[in-house]
């Protein structure tokens, strides 16, 4: 396992695109927190620094990270596979001795390693920002976060495995990135909307990317949920437990489809 | 030891049959050339035996199954184009190959000197010429000291100097006693480098054996004079010569190994047919290849 992870690091450590995408995540996550410190008070909803003090900071940073992981790490994951197709290093790796299974596992290890690093960074940045912006911080309060770090980790794995699936299916970076971004930002919302018109049901919350997003929802969504409850008789958000369960199931499906697709095709 | 045994290998791309029940064997120490025109199935064969293409029928065995599924670690190969990460330099790319092979004692400097790339070892792959890329790929095939090296059209796209350099390197590799499998459509290349040859056309096996066995012992004669029609009439009357083809300068004929060329010269002189051109040589692989493949066409 470590050999494969080291191999992947050797392959991509000097790729400008990959280094840039990863750097953007590490720069923009704290930057988004800084932006939150400059937001004005919203009477009745949020006082100054609400979003960056414990315990709300975990939700806010998680939501900001949600977008960044979706974009930067999702695209990065597609790039690590399509780049190997483009430069034919995928086939070369197999020709010179890597088994297909090892190649597949090495990409899964990238997902797990990046998800772990991204989650630890989220925890570190959130802790520091929260500590600096909470009037009387203490450790018990600081870590009152409803399993935010494991939820964040699961969210990272979900986005990247979903992106990986498109990379294996389409092989071409442009097509895979377009389909991935379009589906997450537009496609699934349209499908859910159509579903809602056909059947007003909480089932619309169970779609894969919605379940993933609900692991780290918008902090003020609770209010929106209150508003919506007046219109619909079901919750706007999945509970954390349900979102985590559904996301885990979807991750298994994404990985299974990727594996089947990769093992079946010529490289 | 039998390094490779291919049994009835067949590959279909939709309705097109690229390989048609191909059988082939490579013994240890052989330098096997897989010869065939473009589109004959050479690269498809190599793609299947290297695990990147799935065969439709048939099977193959490496090293009599001695290494099980890890047999590819004992094989160094280039398939079609040299494939490396363009933003990494020669040393970094070779190190990736080493990590995959799981070898530990490779001397990159020695390998890069062998392929004359030592001076450019820290330049990124994307800055290399095609010849340099090809030579780096050859160096990569030697990582992990493989028992077999496979080259697919190793001189494709190279200029004459590049071709000479690559051929020279291949001959050095072959002289190290490794089993070499080389696919090519360049007959001269195969004839100069290989000890054995397998000829395929349209995915079918046409002939296989040592170069000596494939090449017949016949002599090829090129005979020219000012009046080629007169010469042709005379030669067609002889039973010890078979007319093959003619151009505007000479007639090419085939004769037995013991044919007396001096006597022919004397006979033509006495018939008042003075010669302007007379060459007697062993039959070349190119001629044999054309004979074998055109025989199949007629069938």
Q: What is the DSSP string of A158-224?
A: HHHHHHHHHHHHH--HHHHHHHHHHIIIIIHHHHHHHHHHH--SGGGGGSHHHHHHTTS--TTHHHH
User: Would the CB atoms of A94 and B50 count as touching at under 8 Å?
Assistant: yes
SS3 A251: helix
Cβ neighbours of residue A150 closer than 8 Å, sequence gap 6 or more: A119, A244
Q: Kindly give the confidence (pLDDT) of every residue in chain A, 267 residues in length, as a single tens digit, with 9 standing for 90 and above.
A: 899 999 999 999 999 999 999 999 999 999 998 888 887 777 766 676 778 889 889 999 999 999 999 999 999 999 999 999 999 999 999 988 899 999 999 999 999 999 999 999 999 999 999 999 998 889 989 888 889 999 999 999 999 999 999 999 999 999 999 999 999 999 999 999 999 888 877 888 999 999 999 999 987 665 565 555 656 666 778 899 999 999 999 999 999 999 999 998 888
- Contact list, B75 vs chain A (CB under 8 Å): 96-97
Give the CATH H-level superfamily of domain B2-214.
P-loop containing nucleotide triphosphate hydrolases (3.40.50.300)
User: Would the CB atoms of A87 and B86 count as touching at under 8 Å?
Assistant: yes
Q: State which residues form the domain around A62.
A: 2-264
User: Would the CB atoms of B52 and A14 count as touching at under 8 Å?
Assistant: no
What is the number of structural domains in chain A?
1
Residue B212's pLDDT is what? Answer: 75
ipTM score here? Answer: 0.88
Q: Is the dihedral of CA B95, B97, B100, B103 positive or negative?
A: negative
Q: Does B68 touch chain A (CB under 8 A)?
A: no
Order of strands, sheet of B219-225, starting from the edge strand that comes earlier in the sequence: B241-246, B251-255, B219-225, B275-282
Nearest CB among B77, B84, B87 relative to A95 is that of B77
Nearest CB among B52, B92, B101 relative to A97 is that of B101
- Residue ranges per domain, chain B? 2-214, 219-283
Residue B216 structure tokens? 């017949």
Q: Does A99 touch chain B (CB under 8 A)?
A: yes
Among B31, B28, B85, B74, which Cα is nearest to B49's? B74
Rounded Cα gap, residues A133 and A33, in angstroms: 11
Which of B18, B51, B144, B181 is the best substitution to test chain A (most A C-beta atoms within 10 A)? Answer: B51
DSSP A96-148: TT--HHHHHHHHHHHHHHHHHHHHHHHHHHHHHHHHHH-SS--HHHHT-SSSH
Residue B123 structure tokens? 């330049």
Residue B239 structure tokens? 């039973």
**pTM for the structure as a whole:** 0.81
Residue A225's pLDDT is what? Answer: 57
Residue B296's pLDDT is what? Answer: 56
Nearest CB among A7, A15, A94 relative to B51 is that of A94
How many C-beta neighbours within 10 Å does residue A196 have?
13
- Contact list, B146 vs chain A (CB under 8 Å): none
pLDDT tens for residues A23-70? 999 999 999 988 888 877 777 666 767 788 898 899 999 999 999 999
Q: How far is CA A3 from the centre of its chain?
A: 26
CA distances from A133 to A4, A33, A144, B230, B258 (A): 41, 11, 16, 108, 102
Pairing outcome for strands B196-201 and B204-210: antiparallel
User: Would the CB atoms of A96 and B81 count as touching at under 8 Å?
Assistant: no
User: Would the CB atoms of A91 and B83 count as touching at under 8 Å?
Assistant: yes
SS3 B182: strand
User: Would the CB atoms of B76 and A7 count as touching at under 8 Å?
Assistant: no
Residue A233's pLDDT is what? Answer: 65
**How would you label B165-195 residue by residue, b for 16+ Cβ within 10 Å and e otherwise?**
bbbebbeebbeeebbbbbbbbbbebbbebbe
Task: Answer for the pair B200, B40: CB distance below 8 angstroms, yes or no.
Answer: yes
Residue A230's pLDDT is what? Answer: 59
Please give the class, per CATH, of domain B219-283: alpha beta
Q: How far is A104 from chain B (nearest CA, A)?
A: 14
Q: Does B50 touch chain A (CB under 8 A)?
A: yes
Q: Which uninterrupted H or E stretch holds A24?
A: helix A16-37
User: Would the CB atoms of B101 and A92 count as touching at under 8 Å?
Assistant: no
Which of A2, A92, A99, A260 is the best substitution to test chain B (most B C-beta atoms within 10 A)? Answer: A92
Residue B257's pLDDT is what? Answer: 81
- Count, residues in chain B: 299
Q: Which uninterrupted H or E stretch holds B215?
A: none
User: Would the CB atoms of B75 and A7 count as touching at under 8 Å?
Assistant: no
User: Would the CB atoms of A95 and B81 count as touching at under 8 Å?
Assistant: no
Interface of B with A in 81-140 (CB under 8 A): 81, 83-88, 92, 95-97, 99-102, 140
Residues of chain B scoring pLDDT < 50 = none
Half-sphere exposure of A255 (CA within 13 A, CB side): 17
CA distances from B72 to A46, A100, B22, B47 (A): 62, 12, 21, 12
């Amino acid at each position: 396992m470590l050999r494969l992870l080291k191999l992947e690091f050797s392959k991509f450590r000097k790729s400008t695109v990959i280094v840039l995408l990863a750097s953007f995540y590490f720069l923009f996550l704290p930057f988004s927190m800084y932006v939150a410190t400059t937001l004005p008070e919203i009477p009745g909803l949020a006082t100054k620094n609400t979003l960056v003090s414990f315990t709300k900071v975990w939700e806010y940073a998680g939501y900001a990270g949600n977008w960044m992981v979706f974009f930067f790490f999702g695209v990065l994951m597609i790039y690590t596979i399509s780049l190997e197709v483009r430069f034919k290093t995928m086939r070369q790796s197999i020709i010179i001795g890597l088994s297909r299974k090892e190649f597949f596992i090495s990409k899964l290890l990238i997902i797990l390693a990046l998800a772990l690093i991204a989650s630890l960074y989220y925890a570190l940045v959130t802790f520091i920002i929260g500590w600096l912006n909470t009037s009387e911080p203490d450790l018990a309060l600081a870590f009152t976060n409803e399993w935010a770090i494991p939820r964040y980790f699961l969210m990272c794995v979900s986005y990247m495995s979903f992106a990986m699936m498109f990379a294996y299916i389409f092989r071409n970076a442009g097509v895979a990135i377009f389909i991935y971004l379009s589906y997450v930002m537009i496609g699934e919302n349209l499908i859910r909307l159509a579903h809602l018109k056909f059947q007003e049901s909480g089932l619309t919350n169970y779609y894969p990317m919605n379940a993933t997003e609900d692991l780290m929802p918008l902090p003020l969504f609770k209010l929106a949920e209150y508003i919506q409850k007046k219109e619909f008789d079901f919750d706007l958000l999945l509970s954390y437990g349900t979102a985590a369960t559904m996301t885990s199931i979807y991750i298994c499906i994404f990985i299974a489809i990727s594996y089947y697709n990769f093992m079946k095709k010529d490289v | 030891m039998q390094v490779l045994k291919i049994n009835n290998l067949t590959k279909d791309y939709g309705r097109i049959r690229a390989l048609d029940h191909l059988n082939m064997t490579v013994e240890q120490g052989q330098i096997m050339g897989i010869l065939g025109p473009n589109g004959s199935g050479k690269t498809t064969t190599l793609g299947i035996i290297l695990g990147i293409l799935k065969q439709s029928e048939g099977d193959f065995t490496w090293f009599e199954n001695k290494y099980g599924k890890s047999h590819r670690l004992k094989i160094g190969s280039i398939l079609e184009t040299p494939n490396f990460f363009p933003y990494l330099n020669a040393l970094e790319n070779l190190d990736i190959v080493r990590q995959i092979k799981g070898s530990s004692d490779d001397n990159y400097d020695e390998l890069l000197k062998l392929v004359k790339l030592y001076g450019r070892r820290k330049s990124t792959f994307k800055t290399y010429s095609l010849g340099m890329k090809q030579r780096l790929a050859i160096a990569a095939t030697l990582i992990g000291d493989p028992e077999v090296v496979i080259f697919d059209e190793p001189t494709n796209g190279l200029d004459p100097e590049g071709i000479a350099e690559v051929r020279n390197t291949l001959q050095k590799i072959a002289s190290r006693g490794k089993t070499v499998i080389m696919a090519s459509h360049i007959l001269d290349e195969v004839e100069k480098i290989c000890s054995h040859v397998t000829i395929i056309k349209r995915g079918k096996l046409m002939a296989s054996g040592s170069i000596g066995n494939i090449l017949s012992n016949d002599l090829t004669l090129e005979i020219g004079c000012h009046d080629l029609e007169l010469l042709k009439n005379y030669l067609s009357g002889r039973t010890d010569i078979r007319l093959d083809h003619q151009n505007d300068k000479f007639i090419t004929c085939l004769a037995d190994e013991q044919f007396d060329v001096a006597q022919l010269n004397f006979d033509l002189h006495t018939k008042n047919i003075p010669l302007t051109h007379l060459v007697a040589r062993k039959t070349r692989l190119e001629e044999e290849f054309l004979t074998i493949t055109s025989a199949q066409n007629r069938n």
